[in-house]
């Protein structure tokens, strides 16, 4: 995953917020990437992130962009920002109206063979629901049949995430829960089909 066959990695983070996930990613991969696009639904976090990751900003490795992943990303980012090798999102995608449409928008941004790495709530404890359930954004979803009816709220169970990712065209999906029983968080690694696989699937 670290080195792409055509050069170093192009990375996109969706809903980067305060940069907590960004910090851990950069500590792991060091300088082995060409570009890192730090995005959020608004630019409110960008000034602090520029200071926090100043060496990478000065080196031209990290750039910033507003991205509403519920909308078509192409008009927002442009054709030049397609083809990412790695896309990260932490506790972001569930907080959208239509999960299938959201995942399809993410899929558009990946290069053939690229990887999507999600960290999502899959069995939130009661206190999380009590806190976030008081916020209007917790109830934005319009596809309750796809959400985890046992837990309530917008989160999806592990099996539902796997199904949605496979339905969106990812050909390899792996789930890594934080524990065996009632995992609160689960990391999902999903791979977009390679160019050869896509060509084969399009051939009559």
**pTM of this structure:** 0.88
Place of tokens 């976030």: 132
**Residue 2: what pLDDT?**
44
Determine the pLDDT at residue 57: 95
pLDDT of 175 > 50? The answer is: yes
Query: What are the φ/ψ torsions at residue 2 (nearest 5 degrees)?
Result: -75, -40
Tokens of 65: 């962009």
- In which band, very low, low, confident or very high, does the pLDDT at 161 lie, cut at 50, 70 and 90? very high
Q: In the numeric block, which tokens belong to residue 57?
A: 């900003």
pLDDT exceeds cutoff 90 at 150: no
| pLDDT of the residue at 126 | 78
- Backbone phi, psi, residue 153, to 5°: 85, -170
The CA-CA-CA angle for residues 202, 87, 36, to 5°, reads: 125
H helix or E strand, kind and range, residue 110: strand 110-121
Provide the CA 10 distance to its chain's centre, in angstroms.
14
pLDDT of residue 39: 97
Q: Which of 140, 152, 149, 177 is nearest to 162 (CA)?
A: 177
Quick one: pLDDT at residue 1?
A: 46
Q: How confident is the model at residue 111 (pLDDT cuts 50, 70, 90)?
A: very high
Q: Higher-confidence residue: 23 or 181?
A: 23
Q: What angle do CA 167, 88, 178 make, to 5 degrees?
A: 85
* Model confidence at 120: pLDDT above 80: yes
**CA–CA gap between residue 130 and residue 125 (Å, rounded):** 9
Please determine, for residue 203, whether its predicted confidence score (pLDDT) is greater than 90. Answer: no
């Amino acid at each position: 995953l670290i080195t792409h066959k055509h050069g170093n990695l192009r990375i996109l983070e969706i809903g980067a917020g305060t940069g907590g996930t960004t910090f851990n990613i950069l500590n792991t991969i060091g300088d082995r990437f060409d570009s890192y696009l730090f995005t959020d639904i608004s630019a409110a976090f960008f000034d602090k992130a520029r200071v926090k990751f100043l060496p990478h900003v000065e080196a031209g490795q990290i750039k910033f962009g507003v991205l509403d992943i519920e909308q078509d990303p192409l008009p927002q980012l442009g054709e030049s920002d397609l083809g990412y090798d790695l896309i990260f999102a932490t506790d972001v995608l569930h907080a959208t109206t239509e999960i299938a449409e959201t995942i399809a928008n993410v899929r558009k941004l990946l290069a053939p063979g690229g990887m999507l790495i999600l960290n999502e709530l899959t069995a939130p404890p009661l206190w999380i629901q009590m806190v976030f359930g008081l916020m209007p954004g917790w109830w934005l979803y319009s596809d309750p049949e796809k959400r985890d009816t046992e837990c309530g709220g917008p989160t999806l169970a592990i099996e539902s995430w796997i199904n949605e990712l496979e339905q969106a065209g990812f050909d390899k999906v792996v789930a890594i829960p934080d524990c065996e029983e009632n995992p609160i968080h689960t990391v999902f690694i999903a791979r977009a089909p390679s160019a050869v696989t896509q060509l084969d699937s399009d051939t009559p």
